Structure 1
């Protein structure tokens, strides 16, 4: 046989093999990339630089577990160590302002900076968490009705989850889309719903998840139960709005009551340098403790009065 024909045939065969493996490899990479976009892989969580070694250890420790849960419920896509680093940076800036600009003595400068960072972080995370839960609760009656209609139509709960993920906007659409992807990968329905209830700090969502789990185990008319739950949630939302309107003034007073004296004494210290120095005497420290105790008592008393559960 002609050597040129043999060489050409071998070249064509090698090119065909290369083309086959190239196409299959490209498809495999696309599939892996698609799965990785659904879930955070361990390699994505690993940082490349040794500078962040301490942050990785903090993220994997039990100390950061509570912070990770708060960040997840607040829908902040950052690591616990990154959030802690931002808080430390803000603390250093506030300490600089208190010590050098306001001329506060030690340890008042550190205490004030810490209080501002602690209170600001708590208010920020709670506000984001509550807003996300409130937005989800507004969509929950519609979720109940859509899943009730899918059950009445003879479809499965998984198909109801797909319908909610397709039809509703964020935050319910995003969360149910991730729930649908977990179910597509073979995860248990109860486990996936349990993780959903942990992501959003909503009592209504916990009731919704518990109701579906119980009805799936013991049986019953799930469609009718979901329809009744939708009406109940709408009525509860209406009552909560009325309560929030009536108690809004008292809630703002509860926050302003401890803040105004602090800003007042800081402004007096700016106008009169050394105005706060007498507070570091034994009698001054006793007065600080008494005033702080009274302010905290008034704050929690107002919060207790205005906290009406429906």
Structure 2
């Protein structure tokens, strides 16, 4: 099935429009937050709330899928609406179907669309993991700031507020949320546990447990925080060495996969139509499916082998 070129161009134009829309929404969100921090912007807030995209986003957030995606977007630190993310994913999936349908059987276009959706979710997961890693890297500094503040006689609520002002992102925004929750009357234990749920990690769990136990039973919090800071520094250095050692294996695995895709594209350039003929034949479909499954299995195996829990 040869898809007309105008349909492909329309799909590309649609993706470009949605991408531009998403960039516009991101920039407008940044500007909107800047305005809100400088002055009260009630009129602007009402205008945004009445926009079509905002109403769609509000409706999607009520669904189970929308809530799950919103949690992922929030955890990743990306400033994007749920509606924008889903519209962008749908546009890219349609474009994948149209483009792959030019060279291969339609079933592979559908598979490519599913792959595009998985790639976008993987992108969110990777951003979430990177943001969590950046926060974990700041934990030694956070422990020292809290230790210095408590040794100076400040309460833990004040110490967390002070740390949110001194540390960089992402610790600044996460600690600001915790400090704001404390100002609104949330108990210290609940606020710290919410922080641990937003950024789940073994290192943060140890720090949160120490603060919770200290708030309940007392004890030498300053000494504990300084010991935790030194231990976290050592763990950070070990993690850096492990990633350096395993990085070559991960890159090699992805390079082999890209070489396979590039080889198929080159074959289709040298022998036009060969890729479509292969994909429309049962034997060719089995071979292509087995190759894709082998690559996916290799990615999973490499991730499992290179993951080291310290």
Question: What displacement does 1:154 show?
Answer: 2.6
Matched, 1:210 2:212: no
Alpha-carbon spacing, 1:303–1:37, altered in 2? closer, same or farther (3 Å): farther
Contact 1:179/1:192 (8 A) holds in 2: yes
Q: Does residue 56 of structure 1 match 2:58?
A: yes
Secondary structure of 1:64's counterpart equals helix
CA-to-aligned-CA distance 1:21-50 (integer Å, 9 cap, x gap) = xxxxxxxxxxxx979999xxxx87984245
Structure 2: how far apart are the matches of 1:240 and 1:214? 27
Residue number in structure 2 paired with 1:69: 71
Cα separation, partners in 2 of 1:75 and 1:230, compared to 1, 3 Å = same
Cα distance in 2 for residues equivalent to 1:61 and 1:54: 11
Return 122-131 or 81-90, whichever deviates more.
122-131
Partner of 1:288: 288
Unmatched 5+ stretches in structure 2: 1-34
3-state SS of paired residue (2:64): coil
2 CA distance for matches of 1:299 and 1:34? Answer: 44
Q: Distance in 2 between matches of 1:126 and 1:63?
A: 15
Q: Distance in 2 between matches of 1:135 and 1:80?
A: 24
Assess, with a 3 A threshold, how the Cα gap between structure 1 residues 45 and 156 changes in structure 2: closer, same or farther. Answer: farther
Distance 2:129 2:47 in 1: 27
Query: Alignment partner of 1:78: what SS?
Result: coil
- Aligned residue pairs total 271
Other-structure match for 2:238:
239
Tell me the equivalent position of 1:80. 82
Q: 1:51 to 1:223 in 2, by over 3 A?
A: closer
Matches within 5 A, 1:1-310: 47-49=49-51, 54-100=56-102, 103-119=103-119, 121-276=120-275, 277-310=277-310
Deviations 1:40-67 (A, max 9, x none): xxx8798424576554332211122221
TM-score by length of 2: 0.77
Match of 2:31 in 1: none
- For residues 190 and 47 of structure 2, what CA distance do their matches in structure 1 show? 23
Deviation at 1:252, TM superposition (A): 0.9
The answer as to whether partners of 2:97 and 2:106 remain within 8 angstroms in 1 is no
CA 36–189 in structure 1, closer or farther in 2 if over 3 Å, else same: farther
CA distance in 2, matches of 1:125, 1:112: 18
The structure that has the greater radius of gyration is 1
Structure 1 pair 54–117 and aligned structure 2 pair: CA distance change class (3 A): same
Task: Deviation per CA, 1:186-208: give whole Å up to 9, x if none.
Answer: 22222222222233354322332
| Residues 59 and 79, structure 1, Cα contact 8 Å, conserved in 2 | no
CA–CA distance in 2 between the matches of 1:211 and 1:45?
45
CA distance in 1, matches of 2:138, 2:46: 32
TM-score by length of 1: 0.77
Give the superposition deviation at 1:229: 0.7
Task: Give the deviation of 1:147 after TM superposition.
Answer: 1.0
Once residues 268 and 113 of structure 1 are traced to their aligned partners in structure 2, the CA distance between those partners, rounded to angstroms, is 22
When the two chains are superposed, the root-mean-square deviation of aligned CA atoms in Å is 2.8
Assess, with a 3 A threshold, how the Cα gap between structure 1 residues 116 and 275 changes in structure 2: closer, same or farther. Answer: farther
1:73 and 1:201 in contact (8 A); partners too:
no
Q: What displacement does 1:245 show?
A: 0.9
Q: Which stretch has the larger CA shift, 265-274 or 179-188? A: 265-274
Pair 1:235–1:44, CA change in 2 (3 A) = farther
* Counterparts of 1:49 and 1:170, CA distance in 2: 30
Aligned counterparts of 1:206 and 1:46: Cα–Cα separation in 2:
38
Aligned to 1:3: none
